[in-house]
Amino acid sequence: MSRIGVFTCHCGENINGTVDCGKVAESARGVPGVVHSVDYKYMCSDPGQSLIKEAIREHRLTGVVVAACSPRMHEPTFRNAVAEAGLNPYLCEMANLREHCSWVHEKGEATTAKAADLVRVMVEKVKHDQPLQPIRVPVTKRALVLGGGIAGIQAALDIANAGHKVVLVEKSPSIGGHMSQLSETFPTLDCSQCILTPRMVEAARHPNITLYTYAELEKLEGFIGNFKATIRRKARSLDEKLCTGCGLCTTKCPNKKIKDEFNEGLATRGAIYVPFPQAVPNKPVIDKLNCTYYKTGKCKLCEKVCPTGAIRFDQEDELVTLDVGAIVLATGFKLMKTDQFPEYGYGKYKDVVDGMQFERLASASGPTAGAMKRPSDGKAPETVVFVACSGSRDRSKGVPYCSKVCCMYTAKHAMLYKHKMHHGKAYVFYMDIRSSGKDYDEFVRRAIEEDDVSYIRGRVSRIYEEDGQLIVQGADTLQNGRPVEIKADLVVLATAVQAQDGSEALAQKLHVSYDPYHFFAEAHPKLKPVETNTAGIFLAGACQAPRDIPETVAQASGAAAKVAGLFSRDELTREPVVAVVNRLPAPTFSYCVGCFLCQSACPYQAIEQEQIKARDGSVIRTLAKVNAGLCQGCGTCVATCRTKAIDIQGFSNEQIFAEIMTL
Amino acid sequence: MTGSPHPSAPSETLKAKVEQATGVKLNHCYQCGKCTAGCPVAQDMDLTSCQILRLVQFGDPAWDRQALQSEGIWLCLACETCSTRCPQEVAVPKVMDFLRAEAVRRDLAHPRSRDILAFHRAFMDSVRATGRLYEIGLVADYKVRSRHFLKDVMLAPRMLVRGKLPLLPHLIKGRDAMKRIFQRTLGVKP
Amino acid sequence: MRIGYYPGCSLLGSSREFDESTRAVAEAIGLELVTVPDWNCCGASSAHVLDHQLSLALPARILALAEAAGLTELLAPCAACYNRLCSARTELEADPAAREAISRIIELPYQGRVKVVNILEVLDRCQDRLKAKATAPLGRKVACYYGCLLVRPPRVVAFDRPEDPMSMDRLMVLAGAEPLAWNHKTECCGAAFSVTRTDLVARMSGRIVAGAAKAGAEAIVVACPMCHSNLDMRRPECNALLQADHQLPVLFITQALGLAMGLDPVRLGLQRHMVPALLQPAAAGAKA
């Protein structure tokens, strides 16, 4: 005998402003099986919840329907309240009168009638509800951090210091990321590598951190607390145990013409190389695409000179499988290159460089040892033009967003240039100055007031080269759009911050959402900035959106805190809304005929095969079996099953049809 | 002069008329100046493209008038450099076309537009009458309208000698249809 | 091989040599040009300044006539005509109501089935035939000048890149010439201001001529009658403003290709230019 309680919420005016909640409560009283029906202003509040709990005890309710907002909002709230009153929480359902009714219709009788129908349907469902128990799964207390820039390093250190194991995976041969390429950082003008390398070394030495460099994620399976990750450790062509990092091989490599990625193409490296002197690990790697031996079978000079015989040309990639409980995505960003600008020369002018290239020119470890020398002829540039907003805030280039960091680093670049060349002239073409962090605006004012950097408000229409100089055609909109033409020796484009190459593919591997620009999507823009919609996967740094270093470090620590929170429990509870294949006594065993259409349909690989065996060990039947740990309750298998042998707990076929028939 | 946005309905502003006629949304312009920076005649304009768009974007009738009365709108030669490079994809030449027509409609056209209008009207007169451009007719018509009787007077014989100046107009068969086309679009002969 | 042909008003008059050289080259490579019967003026720069509907109607009539004549593609050598035809076609393509309205105005059914191509596109398609016939390589340094209307706005004309285009340069390589890298390929020559603001044309075209000369060009190659007129006919005004005496000739692309194919310069209309252009291929040893 059903004894169901219906609780209709006004949600302030959100529902009651459009739906007559009193009428809804009254019509619910007339539904067979309903023994108690009330309405109240805020059901989710303490007194509201008490109403429900008292009613359960007083009227000996066997089921509860809360007609209110979306279950995505408050289902956990009401289920907890119901559990506290001693009723199985899965006997509590919500009818969505807000998102499905009051928010999408005009006030009127038809709307109230619809609300009453929604309630009636839910009552029908609850009548067929079974009490369910949550599923418990163990948590693997090891984290996987993808990306070894400042975000990944910070997250790894924080998780490791909380006492948990971390595997840090980095695609390039060394950790450090873009921060290691910077010359100085705003707003303090700290030497970037000086503040970064101690962290890099700490991460490499930390007993809880395993570092895999020159490695990438190959595959990911599983779910929160129970992921299985396969990492591909690319072959360095080196026995790391024997290599001492002496660097002799890198000096002897005859192939010296390869464009150096760390120096953004402004210098060259050999085929066997260490990306930069402070690399961690400080062990070289052979670039197989450009190495003479791998291409033609000749050379092997590095092998000959290596004092410890560490070179291994026959080394293969290694696949490592790991069990991890949580993943932190910290794969960073890429900077748009100058070849994306037709009006600035399609990247063919050597003296038109992007922000990162200027960092390398200014850096003491760069191709010019920090002296201001322009790439084309090595002459000191007497006039430098910095073009802010290059490619950002630009619908026509497909990048309508602001890249956040360029206003600050442009001011920094202009200051660095002026500090190195006191008599040089620096101009910045800008649209707005976005300097909202702590000490940021003062930093920009310093460039203008103390270092005599000339700021011109206007965009640059065209840059071309004539007589060894770059003609920059801009405008000064603060002088009514007056055209301004400057002959520069060097032009620095503050190009747009974009998502890292391969972000889309990685997101799909991880089943993580991403936005149209391939930045990974946070679970909620305001309140959940470090989580994704995929449970157990967290975000840190510029892979989510353009971001400066202080914010990246803060976000990385935030992600680490979430991971530590997850690892503070030994077990995770999962919703029992999962698929189940029915089981009957012998000789039927089940309606399942073993066609396994469900197995091919399941997007989560949650269906396995189970053999029913006779006493002598021979197989009588092979049936489908659902792995409750992997099942997400999507229902695809239920729709596919021809014999209706598989069903979802809490959303059974019987329940759905009962709901439909009552309408 | 201080400006106050239009007091009456937003749909009656010049900005709204521009959007309705050309599809260009002036609110997209964020006055970055890239159009003016690349405009080959910016240095000759009293009001540059950046300024003109800002004046119309604001929605003050006095500012609208200022834009319509400028010489700048007449100097635009539709080279499309601005629209090609505009980061917000604003079709500036379409706006200029509309402002020119509106300036003529409201009798606000700058005095120095006279010659430019005279040329274009002479050109179209020739097309209306014959279906094609009759260059001698164009020049004669232009000189009468503009009173620049002696302009390029030495050019004609040089062109004649090189066979570049047909003496007789070519009359297309669909001449009458041409007149009706003009009637339906440009309207009565200006 | 045949294609619809729309010469436009300037090709019958002030840029007659563009028509002559196009026909000569077409004949030499076996391309039949089928002129649109009873074609009218496309409206050029003047129609769109005066009335938007008129600027759509005039090109629409041409395209409707071409379609009625059974043509699927229309070659418009004049860059301005090409641009107006493309603009009208693009605007009418998006809006069926506009197509109906324009059909009523022009008294002809407009369906928008005819594609519009420019001279560089067509020559590019016929590369192999051109290469086969290019027996007298020009051997000269040339500056290819595209002007505005062949390459902008990029969504309407959509055939070569709007900054630093290369289609004409590639054709000049075929002709055995050396196309130079220079900075003024797509800057405006002054367009329709030839008569009403000759001072502006002198400055703008002067800049182009000076730029070509500075880059070491022996000739400027163009594909637009208006550009040709401004760079050639208005050369005295340019030189006066620049206080220089630049005599480098301005050739239409079809004239340059015609010379490389060994065609008679007079047939290509080279005697019609204001700046002397009877250029001999360098291999012949004689200079202009």
Is A119 within 8 Å of A21 (Cβ atoms)?
no
Distance CA A175, CA A171 (A): 9
Contact C163 A465 (CB under 8 A): no
Q: What is the pLDDT of residue C191?
A: 86
Q: What is the pLDDT of residue C282?
A: 58
* pLDDT exceeds 90 at position A260: yes
Distance CA A115, CA A6 (A): 13
According to DSSP, the residues that pair with A224 across neighbouring strands are none
* pLDDT exceeds 90 at position A302: yes
Q: For the residues B30-56, what does the mean pLDDT come to?
A: 96
According to DSSP, the residues that pair with A584 across neighbouring strands are none
Is position A215 within any domain?
yes
Cβ contacts of A389 on chain B, cutoff 8 Å: 32
Nearest to C46 among B91, B124, B181 (CB): B124
Distance CA C15, CA C254 (A): 12
The tens digit of pLDDT for each residue in C129-140 reads: 999 999 999 999
Q: What is the pLDDT of residue A147?
A: 97
* pLDDT exceeds 90 at position A87: yes
Is B158 within 8 Å of C274 (Cβ atoms)?
yes
Same domain, A488 and A437: yes
Determine which of A462, A463, A470, A472 to mutate to test the interface with C (most C C-beta atoms within 10 Å).
A462
* pLDDT exceeds 70 at position C288: no
- Residue ranges per domain, chain B? 14-108, 113-186
Q: Topology of C135-272 in CATH?
A: Rossmann fold (3.40.50)
How many contacts (CB atoms, under 8 Å) link A and C?
Answer: 13
Same domain, A187 and A199: yes
Among chain A residues, CA nearest to B30: A431
Contact C38 B172 (CB under 8 A): yes
The tens digit of pLDDT for each residue in A595-642 reads: 999 999 998 788 999 999 999 999 999 999 998 877 889 999 999 999
Determine which of A477, A484, A486, A495 to mutate to test the interface with B (most B C-beta atoms within 10 Å).
A477
Q: What is the pLDDT of residue C286?
A: 39
Q: What is the pLDDT of residue B190?
A: 42
Domain boundary among A483, A498, A513: A498
Contact A475 B36 (CB under 8 A): yes
Nearest to B186 among C54, C106, C197 (CB): C54
Same domain, A348 and A481: yes
Q: For the residues B68-80, what does the mean pLDDT come to?
A: 95
Among chain C residues, CA nearest to A344: C163
- Residue ranges per domain, chain C? 2-119, 135-272
The tens digit of pLDDT for each residue in A219-253 reads: 999 888 999 999 999 999 999 999 999 999 999 99
Domain boundary among A571, A603, A632: A571
Domain boundary among A132, A153, A187: A132
| Amino acid sitting at position C208 | I
Same domain, A358 and A483: yes
> In chain C, pLDDT over 70 holds for what percent of residues?
97
**What is the tally of structural domains in chain A?**
5
How many contacts (CB atoms, under 8 Å) link A and B?
Answer: 78
Sign of CA dihedral A180, A182, A184, A186: negative
Residue C159 Cα distances to C92, C149, C150, C156, C256, angstroms: 19, 12, 8, 9, 21
Give the pLDDT band (50/70/90) at residue B153.
confident
Contact C164 A346 (CB under 8 A): yes
Same domain, A14 and A107: yes
Q: Extract the runs of DSSP E, i.e. beta strands, from A477-601.
A: 482-488, 490-495, 497-499, 537-539, 571-574, 579-581
Same domain, A93 and A186: no
The tens digit of pLDDT for each residue in A140-168 reads: 999 999 999 999 999 999 999 999 999 99
Contact C14 B159 (CB under 8 A): yes
| C128, two tokens | 């192999």
Same domain, A359 and A480: yes
Same domain, A482 and A378: yes
Angle at A248 between CA A247 and CA A252, to 5 degrees: 125
Sign of CA dihedral A289, A290, A294, A296: positive
Same domain, A293 and A153: no
Determine which of B36, B63, B84, B90 to mutate to test the interface with A (most A C-beta atoms within 10 Å).
B36
Cβ contacts of A343 on chain C, cutoff 8 Å: 163
Q: Would an 8 Å CB–CB cutoff place A464 in contact with chain C? A: yes
Q: Would an 8 Å CB–CB cutoff place A340 in contact with chain C? A: no
* pLDDT exceeds 70 at position C285: no
* pLDDT exceeds 90 at position B164: no
Give the pLDDT band (50/70/90) at residue C284.
very low
Distance CA A323, CA A225 (A): 9
Pairing of strands A4-9, A63-68: parallel
Sign of CA dihedral C192, C194, C200, C206: positive
Q: What is the pTM of this model?
A: 0.87
* pLDDT exceeds 90 at position B147: no
- CB under 8 Å to A53, separation ≥6 — which residues? A81, A82, A84, A85
Question: What's the mean per-residue pLDDT of chain A?
Answer: 95
Three-state DSSP class for residue C19: helix
Residue A632 Cα distances to A223, A225, A627, angstroms: 10, 14, 10
Q: What is the pLDDT of residue C49?
A: 87
* pLDDT exceeds 90 at position C207: yes
Is A411 within 8 Å of A447 (Cβ atoms)?
yes
Of residues A629 and C156, more confidence is placed in: C156
The tens digit of pLDDT for each residue in A444-461 reads: 999 999 999 999 999 999
Domain B14-108 has CATH 1.10.1060.10: yes
| C212, two tokens | 């070509």
Nearest to C161 among A342, A465, A466 (CB): A342
| B61, two tokens | 């009738």
Reply yes or no: is the peptide bond before residue A187 cis, omega within 30 of 0.
yes
Q: C-contacting residues of B 44-63, CB under 8 Å?
A: 44
Is position A199 within any domain?
yes
Contact C161 A345 (CB under 8 A): no
Is position A243 within any domain?
no
The tens digit of pLDDT for each residue in C19-29 reads: 999 999 999 99
Q: For the residues A297-306, what does the mean pLDDT come to?
A: 93
Which phi and psi (to 5°) does residue B16 adopt?
-65, -40
HEC string for C64-91: HHHHHCCCCEEECCCHHHHHHHHHHHHH
Least confident of A317-326, A485-494, A526-535: A526-535
Q: Would an 8 Å CB–CB cutoff place B162 in contact with chain C? A: yes
Same domain, A417 and A475: yes
Same domain, A477 and A525: no
Is position A217 within any domain?
yes
Contact C163 A343 (CB under 8 A): yes
The tens digit of pLDDT for each residue in A545-569 reads: 999 999 999 999 999 999 999 999 9
Distance CA C190, CA B8 (A): 41
Is position A32 within any domain?
yes
Is position A358 within any domain?
yes
Distance CA A404, CA A552 (A): 13
Nearest to C105 among B121, B152, B184 (CB): B184
Q: How far is A359 from chain C (nearest CA, A)?
A: 28
| Amino acid sitting at position B97 | D
Residue C76 Cα distances to A241, A367, C101, C114, C126, angstroms: 71, 52, 25, 12, 16
Give the pLDDT band (50/70/90) at residue B6.
low
| A125, two tokens | 């469902």
Range of the domain at A520: 142-230+319-332+502-571
Q: What is the pLDDT of residue C287?
A: 41
* pLDDT exceeds 60 at position A293: yes
Contact A342 C162 (CB under 8 A): yes
CA-based R_g, chain A, Å: 32
Based on the number of CB atoms within 10 Å of its own CB, is B4 exposed (0-12), middle (13-18) or buried (19 or more)? exposed
Least confident of A475-479, B61-65, B160-164: B160-164
| Amino acid sitting at position A604 | Y
Residues present in chain A in total: 663
For tokens 């065609």, the residue is C263
- If you ran DSSP here, which 8-state letter would residue A553 be given? H
* pLDDT exceeds 60 at position C12: yes
Q: Topology of C2-119 in CATH?
A: Glutathione S-transferase Yfyf (Class Pi); Chain A, domain 2 (1.20.1050)
ipTM of predicted assembly, 2 dp: 0.89
Is position A312 within any domain?
no
**CB neighbourhood size of A596 (10 A):** 17
According to DSSP, the residues that pair with A210 across neighbouring strands are A167
CATH for A509: 3.50.50.60
> In chain B, pLDDT over 90 holds for what percent of residues?
62
CATH for A20: 3.40.50
Distance CA B146, CA A328 (A): 75
* pLDDT exceeds 80 at position B1: no
* CA-closest candidate to residue A408, choices A426, A427, A382, A434: A434
Q: How far is B177 from chain A (nearest CA, A)?
A: 41
Distance CA A535, CA A515 (A): 18
Q: First CA to last CA across chain A, in angstroms?
A: 21
